[in-house]
Amino acid sequence: MKTKNQLAGLGTFTRLEARIREEDGAFTVTVRLQNRRKKSEVAWGQEIAPTIEMASSTIGALAEELSIPQKRISIHIDMENFRDGTLH
């Protein structure tokens, strides 16, 4: 994914929508950034992470880097077998 410096010319992002999808033992992280005041300011990206923890931390790091507050972040998770990812 692009860094803050690479995204700087695109505007200020106020919302982050993310999806983590488990595929073949890895996790695809897709994010969409947007400025809720200027709907034309949109960016998106995709990364592959080996674990769900790394996928989650990728989203957290991006939100922190762009100063997007938690209430403006939405995350959707699609897992092949959700029970494999739970602790008992």
Span 67-78, pLDDT tens digits: 999 999 999 999
Measured CA angle at 66 (ends 65, 67), to 5 deg: 95
Owning domain of residue 53: 4-80
pTM, whole model, 2 decimals?
0.76
Asked if residues 73 and 50 have their Cβ atoms less than 8 Å apart, the reply is: no
30-58: average pLDDT: 93
pLDDT of residue 12: 84
Residue 56, in any domain of the structure: yes
What is residue 65's three-state secondary structure? helix
Q: Is 37 helix (H, G, I), strand (E, B) or coil?
A: coil
Residue 11 lies in a domain: yes
Q: How many domains does the chain have?
A: 1
Any domain includes 18: yes
The rounded distance, in Å, linking the Cα atoms of 47 and 31 is 9
